[in-house]
Each structure stands twice: as C-alpha cells, then as structure tokens.
Amino acid sequence: MTISIGDRIPPATMKIINEQGFGDISTDDLFKGKKVAIFGIPGAFTPTCSAKHLPSYVNNAGALAAKGVDSIVCMAVNDAFVMDAWGKSQNVGDAVMMVGDGNGELTRALGLEMDAAGFGMGERCQRFSMVVDDGVVTALNVEAPGEYSISSAESMLDQL
C-alpha cells in the first residue's frame, strides 16, 4: 500500500556519504523534528533526473528554506557511492542530501517501488516528492510512469 498524506514515515535505514565517510542514516535521523522536502527518482545519472528533477531542487533550495523547509533529500534505489558521485557531478553542495536506498528498503516501505527491468534497471523508486513534517507526510506527489511535473521543486513551492 502506498503511503498517504497524514501517514507517518516508516522506519528504514539508508546509506550516505558525508564528511564522516560512508554510513547509515535512519528515517528518524532524516525526519524527526524537521520539515523535509524529499524526492525520489528512478535512478542517478538518468536523463530526466539529471536534467530536470535534481536541478529543480538545487536551484530552489533557498526558496524552499524561505518557506520553512529545513532540509532537502534526494533518494534513489542506488548505492550511496553512486548518489555521492552524482551529487558532485551536479554541483549539489550542501543544498540537497543525497541518500542511497540501495536495497530499496524505504522505497518498498513507502509502497513506491516500480519494476524497471524492461530498462535493465531492476526494481527502482517511482518518481515522487513529498513534504514530511516531523515524520508525518503533509504533501505527496507521485508521478505517472514516464512523467515529470508534479514532483518538481516548483510544484512543491506552490504547496507550501
């Protein structure tokens, strides 16, 4: 079952690379006591994700912060090393936290998995965005397959 507005984010552990190195990050670490803009993408380095989705959040980080967003998180069913390299190649800096859900643990817990085997990608995350306030989903935008519009940062700004 797909997560809905009003639901609490389920517990899960993902991987990140930060100044301390490679490590775990839990959903509690990401969401407790914060307003977070999180978006999920089918894959790092993929065309729409690289040309539109991630840049929309990087370019609008200040506007999202001005509307009360404490942090922006990009997640994908990719490993943390790929997410880190993609973030560096996109000049993300501190604007967006790049989180690897390599085993799809959070993706499945949210009910947002998709079968991308036809593209040689296996199980991946659907394209989505959500606002999570202290662990509770307050806005949720799940794209139709192959679409990109409602999960953009610009769309999220209209919801805040």
Please list the active-site residues: 49
For the chain, report the end-to-end CA distance as a whole number of angstroms: 25
Q: Rounded CA gap, 25 and 70, in Å?
A: 17
State how far the alpha carbon of 125 is from the alpha carbons of 18, 114, 121, in Å.
Answer: 23, 6, 11
User: How many CB atoms within 10 Å of residue 149?
Assistant: 12
Q: Which two tokens stand for residue 66?
A: 């001005």
